[in-house]
């Protein structure tokens, strides 16, 4: 979603294009569509708020299966060749090289060094610009993504209820879950995070819906449990899921409370150091909320 909306990270962070490189422990983003001009399936990328073909080699084997070999910047010929070998392609029937013609000055020597037998024909290009049948995306998430959601929710809860500092013993389990980078956290996700089944933002906006703007919503409440609700990239064309984080059980008898904020991006773009602003929401505690859906579900 950050890539789609052109949301930039901090200037001190390394710029990573997730269409070419794995990020946050998961796989790289894959977005595929059939290019009617080229007659093959191609990978797409979000680029400056637009969607276009990725820089790639498209290989069709004799069985008709299509393989995609993305070409990130700063890749060496040896790395490109090893990435090709990992595709384990059988007999090749067709090969297409997709790149921006402005990149030919470094694409041609790179590909020729990786595959000396390759010859270039034509000027290259990016193929079609419209895809009538849409595209199919593949996103691979690991427990690290959900531990990040848990961290956002837990920190939100602590900022809204300063009577807690997070070091309390009844928060020990969620602290351990957030920092556990052993890779075994997938089995524990549903213990700490569930999917809320009733709207979060709608009731607080009196029925109004996003109209061209996008925002994140964070809420926290104390009832029988300590809860935090995280809804990222709320907008008019994305049904953003609501993740409910469960830091622990309320064993202290502190009275019920609820709070929330919407973090709304400026529609005209960043203003100085800030990309948006935070606004408080009128919220209320739900005494008998429906059960949460499991965040990780097995689909038969």
Render pLDDT for 39-60 as a digit per residue (tens, 0 to 9): 889 999 887 667 888 999 999 9
Contacts of 286 (CB under 8 A, 6+ apart): 198, 221
pTM: 0.82
Predicted pLDDT of residue 17: 84
- Whose structure tokens read 């956002």? 152
Cβ neighbours of residue 14 closer than 8 Å, sequence gap 6 or more:
none
pLDDT computed for residue 47 by the predictor: 73
> Nearest-5° angle of CA 269, CA 270, CA 276?
100
The pLDDT confidence band at residue 11, using thresholds 50, 70 and 90, is low
Specify whether the CB–CB gap between 195 and 243 falls below 8 A. Answer: yes
Is 248 within 8 Å of 231 (Cβ atoms)?
A: no
How much is the pLDDT for 106? 93
Going by C-alpha positions, the residue among 100, 125, 128, 124 that lies closest to residue 37 is: 128
Beta strands in the chain (DSSP E): 30-35, 40-47, 50-53, 56-61, 66-70, 92-98, 136-138, 193-195, 215-222, 225-234, 243-249, 257-265, 276-280, 293-294
Share of residues in the chain with pLDDT > 90 (%): 47
pLDDT, residue 167, reads 95
d(CA 16, CA 23): 8
Q: Is the pLDDT of residue 255 over 60?
A: yes
CA distance 179 to 144: 9
CA distance 70 to 28: 10
Rounded to the nearest integer, the mean pLDDT of the chain is 86
Q: What pLDDT is attached to residue 203?
A: 63
Tens of pLDDT, residues 126-144: 655 667 678 898 888 889 9
Say which range, 9-13, 77-81, 131-135, has the weakest mean pLDDT. 9-13
């Amino acid at each position: 979603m950050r890539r789609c909306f052109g949301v930039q990270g901090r200037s001190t962070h390394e710029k990573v294009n997730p269409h070419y490189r794995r990020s946050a422990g998961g796989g790289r983003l894959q977005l595929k569509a059939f290019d009617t001009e080229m007659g093959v399936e191609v990978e797409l990328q979000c680029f400056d708020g637009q969607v276009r073909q990725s820089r790639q080699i498209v290989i069709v084997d004799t069985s008709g299966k299509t393989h995609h070999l993305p070409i990130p910047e700063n890749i060496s010929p040896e790395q490109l060749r090893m990435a090709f070998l990992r595709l384990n392609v059988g007999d090749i029937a067709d090969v297409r090289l997709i790149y921006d013609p402005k990149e030919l000055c470094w694409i041609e020597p790179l590909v020729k060094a990786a595959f000396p037998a390759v010859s270039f024909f034509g000027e290259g290009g990016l193929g079609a610009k419209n895809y009538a049948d849409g595209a199919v995306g593949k996103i691979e998430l690991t427990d690290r993504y959900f531990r990040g959601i848990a961290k956002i929710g837990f920190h939100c809860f602590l900022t809204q209820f300063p009577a807690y500092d997070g070091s309390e013993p009844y928060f020990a389990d969620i602290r351990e879950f957030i920092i556990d980078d052993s890779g075994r956290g997938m089995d524990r996700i549903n213990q700490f995070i569930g999917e809320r089944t009733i709207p979060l933002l709608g009731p607080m906006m009196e029925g109004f819906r996003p109209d061209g703007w996008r925002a994140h919503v964070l809420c926290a409440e104390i009832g029988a449990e300590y809860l935090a609700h995280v809804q990222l990239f709320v907008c008019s064309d994305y049904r953003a899921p609501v993740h409910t984080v469960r830091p622990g059980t309320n064993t202290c008898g502190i009275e019920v409370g609820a709070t929330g904020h919407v973090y709304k991006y400026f529609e005209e773009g960043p203003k100085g150091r800030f990309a948006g602003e935070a606004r408080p929401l009128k919220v209320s505690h739900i005494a008998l909320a429906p059960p949460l859906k499991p965040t990780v579900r097995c689909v038969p």
